[in-house]
Chain A
Amino acid sequence: MRMTTRFLISAGAAFLLATVPFVSREAFAADAPAAASTPRVLSIGGDITEILYDLGQQDKIVAVDTTSQYPADALKDKKSVGYMRALSAEGVLSVNPTLIIASDEAGPPEVVNALKSSGVRYITIEDKPTADGVSAKVRHVGNLLGADDAAQALAAKIESEFATLKAARKEIKTRKKVLFILAIQNGRATVAGAGTAADSIMQLAGADNAAVGVSGYKPVSDEQLTEFAPDAVIVMRRGESDQHKAGQALTLAGLRQSPAAKTDKLIEMDGLYLLGFGPRAPSAARDLMKSIYPEAGQAAAMP
């Protein structure tokens, strides 16, 4: 009895003590009603956060999710509600948002349902990795915050950049085959196939996806890599320490004989910049095009 009770009581007491800082600190901050005039925005989705910053609406953001990596200030200055597919209903409510702008990827569905019934305005933004999808997103987000003019200007700029890009694509005489490698694990490459954001951005940059017959992001064997025979390989840059790993891409057995390896054509780009399909999508596609077709003069015609 003595042993048991002592153990149980001490365990209980220890836990109680551990929660004291939470309870006392929050008790004072609780129940403070949000000022009705300026919306308190929770942005769930890296592209949405990027659009809000571009529209000059960053002061209205109270919290973001962990996919909001750009601009870097977002996760530094704002609270983070965690990964967008693993939200917590009470966690989200605790930042007192009056407007939640979320990607259609946000989840889990039970939490999204609870938030929608919480009385907080919950807006879902459709996420389509296409040129039209980007400007549509910008207009939608701008409209929600009454920043229609800024949104219109930004959307028009994005559209004209995409138009320039389209003209540049027409100049390309021989299209090149490009392979996007998401990760290399145990010497095996995971490549981007059809239906991925990487596939879309390659098309926008005027290149063909070398990973024919693959859909989604899939690990492929060296033998299959030989078949792809890409003219260039794209890898994601993940910071300085990762460079040597990315450099391995062209030394993979399946790529050693490829045109890309022979011409040492390895393109390193930031993941969110390249695949985020936010306002920077046209410039990401343009940068990619420049890297794939450095010899062509068309890049000079770009703004």
Chain B
Amino acid sequence: MTIADSKTESAVMIPSRPSRSSVFMALTALLFFMALLSLAIGPTGISLHALPRALAAYLGYTSDSAAERDRLVLIDLRLPRTLLAAFVGAALATSGAMMQGLFRNPLADPGLIGVSSGAALAAIATIVLGHGIAAPLVAPLGIYALPLAAFVGGLITTIILVAIAGRHGQLAVGTLLLAGIAVGALAGSISGFIAYASDDRELRDLTLWSMGSLSGASWQKVFAVTPFAIAIGFVIPRLTRGLNGFLLGEAEAMHLGIDTEQIKRLTIATTAAAVGAAVAVAGVIGFVGLVVPHVMRLISGPDNRIVLPGSALLGATLVMVADMIARMAVRPAELPIGVVLALIGAPVFLHLVLRRGMGGWE
């Protein structure tokens, strides 16, 4: 949370807004509190008091079956789940904030640059064709085929879009937006075509995937997303000033001496990688990328030095909370997390909007 130079108070800040450090402290405290809670509650009723026993089993000091069970639940199921929820929430919310900043549009979400639709297309193709013509490709990858396909599919779509919008050496944001809509529609139609060819079971798998879930969380997935988490943390501080410049407009940002081309490309590359990784491990989780940045702006104003890292913290917290509800509400069964997020998030968001206005976009 080290963001340099708080000496110069940003011009867009309204005096009554909370200070940056108090916002970060509150959000970090909330995140850690929810992370602990997420470790402590689950349908088996095993709580944190079992943690020492679970650790003993993990380190090999005991092989007592109760301890092994505690280890499985706390260390192999809940801990990776909590970490993945935090990553997915942070990645989606930060990406949403970056996209809204780049496109200067409050309705922008990570889906605009084609990652989600590309990932969905690849995932659907893997689910449906994985038993048929694509079997030689999918079978050796086993359970990694789906996340891998989703990630690669998302990335390829974004590369195509950037190639279209950047033909003349400069990335045209307007073209990117329109081409994104077109490519999204195209990917959607191919997805529909493949879904048409699916059988009953594949269709249910598709539906469940498109509602998102963290029930497949594992340490392998946590390790797979770690580099992306580090990359996001590394990139955010380098983007905040540039995106603040974009608040005024692209030309104005350039006149301020910001390398707008670099900002655009870095933003898109980060978003594509982050969203691709999030979709790969958890399926489609909407709402977070669109709404969390808005909530951050309502709290702190449009300064991206607060909005970007704040979105990461708040997004992580929100997805963790939603996941706790997803696993507890109908236990021992489980709800798709996308359903929970929209169900609790939408009314809260609506309430905030009605009370405090559009948060810097008006």
Q: Using a CB–CB distance below 8 Å, which chain A residues touch chain B?
A: 1-5, 7-8, 11-12, 15-16, 19, 22-23, 26-27, 29-31, 33, 63, 66, 79-83, 85-95, 105, 107-111, 113-114, 117-119, 182, 195-196, 216-219
Give the residue name and chain of the B residue nearest to A29 (CB).
Answer: B45
| B263 interface residue (CB < 8 Å to A) | no
- Indicate which residue in A8, A91, A114, A195 contacts B43 across the interface (CB closer than 8 Å): A91
Known: A88-B332, A110-B218. A30 touches B47 (CB 8 A): yes
Query: What's the Cα separation between A195 and B18 when bound, in Å?
Result: 63
Query: What's the Cα separation between A105 and B205 when bound, in Å?
Result: 11
Query: What's the Cα separation between A22 and B42 when bound, in Å?
Result: 9
| Chain A residues near B336 (CB-CB < 8 A) | 86
| Complex contact B332–A108 (CB within 8 A) | no
Known: A93-B69, A119-B65, A119-B69. A23 touches B331 (CB 8 A): no
| Chain A residues near B216 (CB-CB < 8 A) | 108-111
Question: Can you spell out 6 A-B residue pairs with CB atoms less than 8 angstroms apart?
Answer: A1-B22, A83-B208, A87-B333, A90-B78, A94-B331, A216-B200
| B4 interface residue (CB < 8 Å to A) | no
Known: A91-B331, A93-B69, A108-B215. A4 touches B200 (CB 8 A): no
Contact with A along B4-28 (1 / 0, CB 8 A): 0000000000000011001100110
| Complex contact A1–B328 (CB within 8 A) | no
> Distance (Å) between the CB of B320 and the closest chain A CB?
10
| Complex contact A19–B22 (CB within 8 A) | no
The 3 closest A-B pairs by CB, nearest first: A82-B333, A26-B45, A30-B45
Give the residue name and chain of the A residue nearest to B145 (CB).
Answer: A109
| Complex contact A88–B215 (CB within 8 A) | yes
Known: A8-B26, A19-B37, A95-B332. A85 touches B44 (CB 8 A): no
| Complex contact B22–A4 (CB within 8 A) | yes
Known: A4-B23, A108-B216, A110-B143. A90 touches B41 (CB 8 A): no
Contact with A along B34-66 (1 / 0, CB 8 A): 100100111111110010000000000000011
> Interface majority SS on B: helix, strand, loop or mixed?
helix
| Complex contact A63–B22 (CB within 8 A) | no
Query: What's the Cα separation between A82 and B328 when bound, in Å?
Result: 12
| Chain B residues near A30 (CB-CB < 8 A) | 44-47
- Indicate which residue in B27, B72, B204, B333 contacts A118 across the interface (CB closer than 8 Å): B72
Query: What's the Cα separation between A217 and B195 when bound, in Å?
Result: 12
| Chain B residues near A91 (CB-CB < 8 A) | 43, 327, 331-334
Beyond the given A1-B18, A12-B30, A16-B37, please list 11 additional residue pairs across the A-B interface where CB-CB is below 8 A: A8-B30, A26-B43, A85-B208, A87-B215, A88-B332, A90-B43, A91-B327, A94-B332, A113-B143, A113-B218, A117-B72
Size of chain B's interface in residues, with CB distance under 8 A? 56
Most B CB within 10 A of own CB, among A22, A89, A217: A89
| Complex contact A217–B199 (CB within 8 A) | yes
| Complex contact B328–A22 (CB within 8 A) | yes
| Chain A residues near B198 (CB-CB < 8 A) | 216
| Complex contact A114–B218 (CB within 8 A) | yes
| Complex contact A86–B213 (CB within 8 A) | yes
Known: A19-B328, A86-B213, A110-B216. A81 touches B143 (CB 8 A): no
| B121 interface residue (CB < 8 Å to A) | no
| Complex contact B45–A27 (CB within 8 A) | yes
| Complex contact A85–B33 (CB within 8 A) | no
Contact with A along B150-191 (1 / 0, CB 8 A): 000000000000000000000000000000000000000000
Give the residue name and chain of the B residue nearest to A32 (CB).
Answer: B45
Interface residues of B in 107-121 (CB under 8 A from A): none
